[in-house]
Structure 1
Amino acid sequence: MADSLRDQLLKSGIVKQVQQDRVREQKRPAPPSGKPARKGGKPHASSPASRPARSQEEIDLAKAYAIRAQTEARERKQVEQEAAEQARLRRERKLKIQRLLDGKTLNKAEADHPRNFEYGGKIRRVHVDGAQLAALNAGELGVVQQAGRYLLVSRDIAEQVRAIDAHQLALLVDPAAGGVGDDGVPDDLMW
């Protein structure tokens, strides 16, 4: 009864078996590729002998996934190309407008009258002097949005900007619509 656990294991033969397995693994020659042998002696998962044969359903499913991936990649590429083309056209329009506006803006640094107008769903403001305010309300001047600023321009320049890109024209009062109401407030600000 005084036998230690080690002695009991040696008597049962379990320890000898484990020791023999260790010795066998150490004596195995290394594979020719220079890589150490895998424990357990199983072949590598990527070797053709280790893969089970695929059924026809699995092959068809794999083909379907490959076709789907190709189609999605082609659609993504097409969407990216269309977005790049739209961005290029926007840059060209902005450049045309910038060239058109160079030296033709009428904004004054000392202008003291704010003229409010709606643009892009928000109320915006441009500062004008008294004469410009009257001309703007009469439709003789227009406001163009360029590079985050609102620029006061003549009506013909505003019409040319509208022809290039209507979204850049922030305000152009139609003289036929009346422009200013009876109370002196421009019609586009009545709400």
Structure 2
Amino acid sequence: MAESLRDQLLKSGIVKQVRDEKRPSPPKGAPPFKGGKPAHPKPHASSKPQGKGQGEIDLAKAYAIRAHTEANERKRAEQAAAEEARLRRERKQKIQQLLAGKTLNKPEVDHVRHFEYGGKIRRVHVDGEQLAALNAGELGVVQQQGRYLLVTRELAEQVREIDPQQVALLADPGGAGGVGEDGVPDDLMW
């Protein structure tokens, strides 16, 4: 029987040479590899690889620096938000102390004065005299804890100094005789 091509190559020694060329040679001073786990583990990614310049840093250090920077940015943002919340609470408390017992809202009223505040149509209940004074600019409306409080012009100006967003309605006293910006009279009952 004829020998197979494989057997012929093995006899000639060519296959053995090819196998030796494919297998990497072990590093100098290291014991030969005999399967299983290597005798010496590879260096970790955190150790500095050889051959890199001094300007380059390894990947683990870059991730650590980025994580530290992001943590600092989050901490600064949280501190800024906490400071803003503290200032808002202080302004709210000042306004609440300023308005204590000085509101002019009455439980029994005849009229409703509508106005635009925060992109929506709001209303405050007033009597006939308060409606005329509100349209003339002698009174104002301040928003406090979801309610609309009727106050004097001076008090509304003081609230405006603390927090201008809390003044819901304060007509200009030298205005167009009770006619709003849209040309509709302020005292029009709907």
* TM-score normalised by the chain length of structure 2: 0.68
Structure 1: tracts of 5 or more residues without a match: 1-40, 43-48
Aligned position for 1:80: 78
Aligned position for 1:124: 122
Aligned position for 1:169: 167
CA distance in 1, matches of 2:163, 2:110: 29
Are the aligned partners of 1:141 and 1:172 in contact in 2 as well (CA < 8 Å)?
yes
Letter aligned with residue 77 of structure 2: V
* 1:111 has 2:127 as partner: no
Runs of 4+ in structure 1 off by over 6 angstroms are: none
* TM-score normalised by the chain length of structure 1: 0.68
| 1:138 Cα offset (Å) | 0.2
Aligned position for 1:186: 186
CA distance in 2, matches of 1:122, 1:184: 17
CA distance in 2, matches of 1:115, 1:172: 12
Residues 118-168 of structure 1: per-residue CA shift (max 9 Å, x gap): 111111000000000000000000000001100000000000000000000
User: Could you say what the CA RMSD is over the residues aligned between the two structures, in angstroms?
Assistant: 2.6
| 1:179 Cα offset (Å) | 4.9
CA distance in 1, matches of 2:93, 2:44: 62
* Residue correspondences, number: 143
Structure 2: tracts of 5 or more residues without a match: 1-35
CA distance in 2, matches of 1:103, 1:141: 16
Higher helix share: 1
Aligned position for 2:99: 101
Identity score, percent: 72
Gap change, CA 1:118 and 1:60, over 3 Å in 2 = same
Are the aligned partners of 1:139 and 1:179 in contact in 2 as well (CA < 8 Å)?
no
Are the aligned partners of 1:112 and 1:127 in contact in 2 as well (CA < 8 Å)?
yes
Residues 49-68 of structure 1: per-residue CA shift (max 9 Å, x gap): 75644336796111111111
Letter aligned with residue 121 of structure 1: G
Letter aligned with residue 85 of structure 1: E
Are the aligned partners of 1:141 and 1:153 in contact in 2 as well (CA < 8 Å)?
yes
CA distance in 1, matches of 2:159, 2:63: 49
Aligned position for 1:30: none
CA distance in 1, matches of 2:184, 2:69: 61
